[in-house]
Amino acid sequence: MNKKWRIKGYDEEKINQISNKYNVSFLVAQRLVENNLSDKEIKIFLNPTRKDFHDPFKLPDMDKAVDRILKAMNNNEKIVVYGDYDADGITSTTILKRYMKDRGIDIGTYIPNRLNEGYGLNEEAITEIAKEKYDLMITVDCGITAVKEVKIAEKLGIDVIITDHHEVPEEIPNAIAVIDAKRKDNKYPFDKLAGCGVAFKLIQALSIKLNLPESEWLKYIDIACVGTISDIVTLIDENRVIAKLGLKLVEVTKNIGLRTLIELSGFKKIDSTAISFGISPRINACGRMGHQEDALKLFLTDDPIEARKLAQKLEEYNRQRQEIEKKIFNEAIEMAYKNKDESCIVIGKENWHHGVIGIVSSKVTDLTYKPSILVCFEGEDAKGSGRSIPGFDLHEAVYNCRELLTAAGGHSMAIGLSLKTNNFEAFKEKIEDYANKKNIKQLIPELLIDYVITSKDINVEEIRKLQLLEPFGEGNNIPVVMYKNLKIDSIRALSEGKHLKLVLTDGNICIDAIGFNMGDLSNIYQIGDKVDIVGNIGINQFKNIENIQITLKDIRSSVE
């Protein structure tokens, strides 16, 4: 697939000023300039402290929520936390459950089953909660759209506090308190917290009201960090404070479940990569496979033996998820290639696991650079998940077909939907017609490059300075560099032809390069070829030897 390489424009003079002022490398300074940070924001970005948290009582209804929770605590009322089955929901639930336990209060938890109940509040769950005689329900990472469900809870005698971070609809639930920084009347200075970030602010507010030391809420920043990085929210402002301070605590975490999961994941260095690729997939696999309670139990246990057993379960769920994902991907990509002339890939099949099709859709879109919607048929009903490409609003496309659907939700780049199986072909045809009218085939993938590097930039110390930008994530991606006119000194395919391994030279400079899922290029390039490459630069450590390595995003024959 041809990609358009585009080097970002930057103000070299301003970058040099920032580099000298804060004693940081050019690449680090470029990111600070690119984010248009003030002097105060730069200091927080580079070295956040516990003093850099915003006042939690500026969040909408925070005072109401705190007062109602304190009333419940004082009157020995029964409290339940209603969470979500993903890593954000699990960590949010953990934070409140453990915080209240420290106050001597044992609260209940409820995590819906993704496969049977789906996301958010549902009437059956609320009915069960009412049977358990709960007086107060606190939602985390969900609830902002639960207008009907909150009315049901109210009728059943349950007071509800909503804590959420998702987009706010026109009508919000008539709950005791609705804490969401995306509300129109919000005065909180940051509206991009993850669900666990909102839960974290709630325990901060409770601690302030209870006159507790800062340590009583800050000790859960490791859990909040895991949820924040896992939920792929923008890692700026308060999210960066949570993530950067939290990673330090993750390294020495007292949460036995988290510590055990880190050990089993095999990651030696605790950074955003370890969370994103080691911890998050294992937590999320529980929800995807319908075993959400095991993830929560892992984070709540204080028994090392139980933690080991539960972590091994998560490992197995993740292995099963990977096998199912691989099978569905192979089937999906074969079907996609049979329909290669279509602008939008809409495919469906029986027996696809709807807890996994979202991941597969993302991979299909990455490989084909086309929006994709994968649908699993379950008798008369069907469930789907889709991913898009920049420039094509998939949510708008799906909304255009709303009369064929029974439910839909999401945003421009990712959607979930339900429909009747017999409406699938009509839905597919209408989506394709919509995509054609938007001239989607004219969209070309663009690869944004932060900086063009040369041999003078290639030394371990300079590259190590990039760690100042950690944690990496949405809004603060790992810098993408371009290196021109390199000679291929060695080239081979790894993992049965799946990946590409290169040794590249520039005079006496030698660079390792790895291209994941680029193994087929080993038949196109050969030793002695001159190439330009784009990728993420880092340090690979093997047997205590450090080497510079570039993880490839693209490669082409040198144009010079």
pLDDT at residue 278, as a whole number: 95
pLDDT at residue 56, as a whole number: 98
Q: Which two tokens stand for residue 4?
A: 């358009």
Q: Where are the alpha helices (DSSP H) in 251-303?
A: 256-265, 272-274, 280-288, 292-300
Percent of the chain scored above 70 by pLDDT? 99
Q: Residue 377, exposed/middle/buried by CB under 10 A (0-12, 13-18, 19+)?
A: middle
pLDDT at residue 560, as a whole number: 64
Only one residue has tokens 């096998």, namely 323
CATH 3.10.310.30 intervals, the chain? 339-442
pLDDT at residue 64, as a whole number: 98
pLDDT at residue 547, as a whole number: 79
State the amino acid at position 95 in one-letter form.
I
Which 3 state secondary structure label does DSSP give 305? helix
pLDDT at residue 55, as a whole number: 98
CA distance 196 to 188: 16
339-442 has which fold? Diaminopimelate Epimerase; Chain A, domain 1 (3.10.310)
pLDDT over threshold 70, residue 545? yes
pLDDT at residue 409, as a whole number: 77
Other C-beta atoms closer than 10 Å to the C-beta of 64 total 15
Instruction: Indicate if the alpha-carbon torsion angle 403, 405, 407, 410 is positive or negative.
Output: negative
CA distance 513 to 526: 14
Between 118 and 196, name the one with better pLDDT. 196
CA distance 110 to 126: 10
Q: How does pLDDT run across 29-38, given as a tens digit for each residue? A: 999 998 888 8
pLDDT at residue 158, as a whole number: 98
How many residues appear in the chain? 560
Query: Residues 363-379: what's their mean pLDDT?
Result: 92
Highest mean pLDDT, choosing among 169-173, 422-426, 453-457: 422-426
CA distance 549 to 522: 18
CATH 2.40.50.460 intervals, the chain? 449-557
pLDDT at residue 160, as a whole number: 98
CATH 3.90.1640.30 intervals, the chain? 52-315
Between 461 and 294, name the one with better pLDDT. 294
449-557 has which fold? OB fold (Dihydrolipoamide Acetyltransferase, E2P) (2.40.50)
pLDDT over threshold 70, residue 390? yes
52-315 has which fold? inorganic pyrophosphatase (n-terminal core) (3.90.1640)
Angular region, 379: left φ>0, alpha ψ -120 to 50, beta rest = left
pLDDT at residue 118, as a whole number: 81
Query: Residues 244-253: what's their mean pLDDT?
Result: 97
Residues 6+ apart with CB under 8 A from 48: 240, 241, 244, 245
Q: How does pLDDT run across 409-453, given as a tens digit for each residue? A: 777 888 889 999 999 999 999 999 999 998 888 888 889 999 898
**Mean pLDDT, all residues of the chain:** 93
pLDDT confidence band for 525 (50 / 70 / 90) = very high
Q: Which of 59-63, 101-105, 334-338 has the lowest mean pLDDT?
A: 334-338
pLDDT at residue 415, as a whole number: 87
pTM above 0.95, yes or no: no
pLDDT confidence band for 92 (50 / 70 / 90) = very high
pLDDT at residue 248, as a whole number: 96
Which 3 state secondary structure label does DSSP give 308? helix
CB burial string 153-182: b at 16+ within 10 A, e below: bbeeebbbbbbbbbebeeebbebbbbbbbb
pLDDT confidence band for 1 (50 / 70 / 90) = low
